[in-house]
Structure 1
């Protein structure tokens, strides 16, 4: 039912955008929201300014109000041109605000017909305002820098894909909870520190970046991503994933259980041991140790999700496809106690350039 409402809103808004002449407006490239005073929201609108060298700086407009639309309306009072969201590509929310719930602000973005539903969302471990106001070493404004950072980590690294559309889809879907990247400002850089987990629209916890390889293997098939495996006290392997996939097996009859099969094919990028990577038996031993470590990490992720009572993997949605009578309340009770086992098959297909 929640999903049907979401799709209906999207359908009704399609084609209703008001047209603007670009030279007559200020195009907002990023927005940021923090907890304000007296129950209000503190909002920042970032507008890019391009110089003759085609480098982008930014002008920021800030105010407080009870709604994001009111923030933009107040910011218009100090802008030389009307502020519009047609170029919006990034929306940031402080962790403190996310703990209170972010759906009302997200719903406003979704209802604006000139804003695309693929804009990047992220949670800030700290405050959104100073992050957007800061200048960074690459000379780009914060909107471009953070957007490109998150996009390249989703495409080439271990950060799972997410955006406005996916967040709202998961939010409205029964048996699945949303997630977003969580970032932190560190002097003249911004770094991804993990994945923010939500129960409904409220932030409840974080998966640390060290476990993102395992999480992404559980939720999305992907071809790129690096992970360090500890083989022994003095042996470490850096593996580049070339192909990772997963399969869910649901046992709905008594006793119910879930098995997740993960398949990884990878290339060894670095091996700390001076011993050469030769011999079929030795390679097989490495594969087994790395598979066991990934099983342990993935199982730890699932245990954390259960403790937080969140289901970003969509196990409830998958389970209900076989048990259609299952209610959301019944699934939540079952989720706490159902055995979830992870099985990893890892194969080293390349050992590096010297092979």
Structure 2
């Protein structure tokens, strides 16, 4: 009986194999990453660059990039297919966008991805200052595969800073939500390395500008709760002259709306361990620890208010203040509200409570 079952399973496997399209690995170009830029051609405005691994007859592993201009994503892919004897197969882990393309709007390109079953919703998105294809083609001594390096880079950054966790799913979710705007991490294509510059902010699908890494940390706190995070604080930004690194940061975020005077309040409750402190206070004494907590609270409030003012001036809402107002309003009131006119002048205040649970290492 057992032998008959094994024979039956074997026949099924043979039949299924015969029905499927055969793909020989040596004949495939398995795309690891893609880059999209605005071209200089009016007729073919989109430039696509793809990267895939190659193996020589001697068994040496390398990577290859191919580039083509076209009218759309699929048009460029068809042209790239004509540049190689290999069959292009999707599976990109990372997709990069040049900043000039983003200023024109990104949604038409991203919608093309949603119609392609070979591009998953978890593919990581990132912005490149200048030309995205140039970064994908860059050769670094210590990096064998740019695509794998960028993917692990973004994965690490997302674990340290939730605001940098961006992919196709999150971009589309925030784009279609009428109470928040999307964000994407920003890399520089200049220099000898891949450098993370900060976080790009959008108004719907149009790229506005990017926040510094310091501003990105504050945005991360304002977005929502944090577990096991890190926070680097340069107190020079508010007049003091020391640096503080907090580890094992746990932050709770509570946003509320006052319907009476139409204002929003954000409360931050931050706990963390002092990993490094370059100031002169003796943190083993409780009074100095309390003083440091007060200074950090002042820093968080001042930096948050400064960032919120900047975002309101740009009329972009990556924190989701609109969601707070929408969730505290009736459907009729929200739909009749001219949010784009209200948001830039909306009073938003931040309060912070900081608790340094242990002093760790200090100067």
Tell me the TM-score normalized by structure 1. Answer: 0.88
The 1:35/1:342 distance shift into structure 2, 3 A limit, reads: same
Q: Aligned residue for 1:332?
A: 340
Map 1:39-118; keep pairs closer than 5 Å.
39=42, 40-49=45-54, 57-85=62-90, 87-118=91-122
Deviation at 1:274, TM superposition (A): 4.7
User: Cα distance 1:277–1:106, how it changes in 2: closer, same or farther (>3 A)?
Assistant: same
Instruction: Kindly provide the CA deviation profile for residues 196-242 of structure 1, in whole angstroms up to 9, marking residues without a partner as x.
Output: 11111110121111211110001132221231241764433222242
Q: Secondary structure at the match of 1:107?
A: helix
* Greater Cα radius of gyration, structure 1 or 2: 2
Q: 1:26 aligns with which of 19, 23, 29?
A: 29
Residue 193 of structure 2 corresponds to residue 189 of structure 1 = yes
Query: What SS is found at the alignment partner of 2:110?
Result: helix
- Mark the CA change 1:354 to 1:299 in structure 2 (over 3 Å): closer, same or farther: closer
User: Is 1:35 the equivalent of 2:38?
Assistant: yes
Superposed displacement of residue 55, structure 1: 8.3
Q: Equivalents in 1 of 2:60, 2:302: separation in Å?
A: 46
- Provide the rounded CA distance (Å) in 2 between the counterparts of 1:152 and 1:55: 28
- Map 1:205-284; keep pairs closer than 5 Å: 205-222=209-226, 223-230=228-235, 233-252=240-259, 254-284=260-290
Contact 1:158 1:213 in 2 (8 A): no
Change (3 A) 1:320 1:42: same
Distance change in 2, residues 1:305/1:50 (3 Å): farther
Post-superposition Cα deviations, 1:297-334, rounded to whole Å, max 9, x if no partner, equal: 11111111101111111111221122122127522222
Counterparts in 2 of 1:317 and 1:54: CA distance versus 1, 3 Å: farther
Query: Judging changes above 3 Å, is the alpha-carbon distance between structure 1 residues 266 and 152 closer, same or farther for their aligned structure 2 residues?
Result: same
Q: How many residues are treated as equivalent by the alignment?
A: 336
| Cα deviations by residue, 1:103-153 (Å, 9 ceiling, x for unpaired) | 111111111112110111011111111111111233232111111111101
Asked whether the 8 Å contact 1:49–1:58 carries over to 2, the reply is: yes
**1:143 alignment partner, SS class:** helix
Q: 1:53 to 1:141 in 2, by over 3 A?
A: farther
Matches within 5 A, 1:4-23: 21=23, 23=25
Q: 1:37 to 1:339 in 2, by over 3 A?
A: same
Q: 1:322 aligns with which of 308, 328, 344?
A: 328
Distance 1:78 1:354 in 2: 58
Secondary structure of residue in 1 paired with 2:41: coil
SS at match of 1:225: strand
Is contact 1:235-1:272 (8 Å) kept?
A: yes
Instruction: State how far apart, in whole Å, the 1-side matches of 2:173 and 2:162 are.
Output: 21
Check whether the contact 1:251–1:257 (CA below 8 A) recurs between aligned residues: yes
**How far apart are 1:336 and its partner, in Å?**
2.0
The DSSP-based 3-state class of the residue aligned with 2:47 is: strand
Task: Give 2:150's match in structure 1, choosing from 143, 146, 155.
Answer: 146
Contact 1:228 1:236 in 2 (8 A): yes
Which shows bigger deviation, 270-279 or 49-58?
49-58
Secondary structure of residue in 2 paired with 1:193: strand
Structure 1 partner of 2:13 = none
Task: Describe the shift of the 1:20–1:248 C-alpha distance in structure 2 as closer, same or farther (beyond 3 A).
Answer: farther
8 Å contact from structure 2 (residues 256, 324) kept in 1: no
Partner of 2:124: 120
Aligned twin of 1:294: 300
